[in-house]
Amino acid sequence: MKRIVVIPGDGIGREVMDAAMLVLEELDLPFDYIWMDAGDDAEKRYGKALPDETLEEAKKNDAVLFGAAGETAADVIVKLRFELETFANIRPAKSFPGVKCLYDDVDMIIVRENTECLYKGLEYEVDGVTIATRIITRKASERIIRYSFELARKEGRKRVTALHKANVMRKTCGLFRDIFRGVASEYPDIESNDYYIDAACMYMVTNPQHFDVVVTTNMFGDIVSDLAAGLVGGLGLAPSANIGERHAIFEPVHGAAFDIAGKGIANPTAMILTATMMLRHFGYIEEAKKIERAVEAVLAEGKTTPDLGGKLKTMEMAEEIARRL
């Protein structure tokens, strides 16, 4: 029996979590769900966005399934990733047949370093001068870069591309680039190249087919993963997994989306595909494929929420997916 800590959080996090649960419950999985609070509402209620009990449960169980937090996201999900040392944030961006988007042939996996960089939160203010410290270490860089090459091998991918800005941030990005080139030389079976992050953003829009596995530092990874999601139909379709040596956190790329929260129109696909990433992590490959096929069928038939031009509500789309299981 796997024990999963479920944290719906704020805004559409709760709506898409209910939808994912409806789909998961169609399958006979040996999972125990432990529902816990975190986020803006939790902060109002308990005085802490990530209550101690939630963090404790997250630490002692097998995985966390997370919806979204609102303005407290840095204190909740960023903190959870650090606390659970889930160093690799895996964010696939893939076109789905039938979904209207910029490209119908994108299939990349962004591997984002998850434990350091500017998101460490080391910010200070002195007399109107604000300072942020960017931490990039040899240890974390080598770990994430190696992870991306191993992932490329495991998934039968042909190329790993690193994104950095080593011409300006010579020390921090310079270290990341140099380690990338060194590790790449140990994987002659996998093509490799590296780009400056700004040019890479253009290439990603003009020629996204070039990108296969992409590895980068924390903040760049946050930004380019939303960009990549935009290429294939938006955040409603983008799942992610945070993987560490002992822990794993599964969460969609999107946030609480307060602009649509409460209307029941959030696309549940990102959250449902996030759940399939959890199933794959635990070795339930056939079950994951079953859900993925059902999602693809529903998307191809245009039975979607308004973000993709459909008319369905969040739960109606989830029911369409569940029905096909």
- Cβ proximity to ligand NAI: between 194 and 251 the closer is 251
Catalytic site includes residue 32: no
According to the binding rule CB under 6 A, does residue 117 interact with ligand NAI? no
Cα 276 to Cα 284: distance, rounded to the nearest angstrom: 9
Site string for ligand NAI, 273-312 (x = CB under 6 A): ----------------------------------x-----
- Candidates 85-93, 202-210, 218-226, 286-294; binding stretch for Mg ion (CB under 5 A): 218-226
CA 317 to CA 168: how far, in whole Å?
A: 46
Separation CA 322–CA 317 (nearest Å): 9
- Amino acid symbol at 2: K
Q: Which of 232, 97, 94, 204 is nearest to 155 (CA)?
A: 94
Catalytic residue (one of 100, 198, 263, 311): 198
CB closer to ligand NAI, 255 vs 310: 255
| Whole-number Å distance between alpha carbons of 298 and 312 | 11
Q: Is 286 helix (H, G, I), strand (E, B) or coil?
A: helix
Range in contact with ligand NAI (rule: CB under 6 A) among 89-97, 144-152, 189-197, 257-265:
257-265
* Calpha distance 187→168 (Å, rounded): 28
Angle between helices 285-300 and 314-323 (to 10 degrees): 120
When the beta carbons of 177 and 254 are compared against ligand NAI, the nearer one is 254
Shortest distance (Å) from residue 178 CB to Mg ion: 27
Q: Which residues pair with 88 in a beta bridge?
A: 113, 243
**x-or-dash pattern for ligand NAI, window 220-239, by CB under 6 A?**
---------------xx---
Q: Kindly tell me which residue out of 63, 197, 270, 277 binds ligand NAI, with binding defined by CB under 6 A.
A: 270
Burial state string for 4-26 with b = 16 or more CB within 10 A and e = fewer than 16: bbbbbbbbbbbbbbbbbbbbbeb
* Interface residue with ligand NAI, options 258, 292, 296, 319 (CB under 6 A): 258
Active-site annotation holder among 107, 212, 226, 307: 226
- Annotated catalytic residue, options 10, 147, 165, 194: 165
Residue closer to ligand NAI, measured from CB, 69 or 162? 69
Catalytic residues: 119, 165, 198, 222, 226
Query: Site residues (CB under 5 A) for Mg ion?
Result: 222
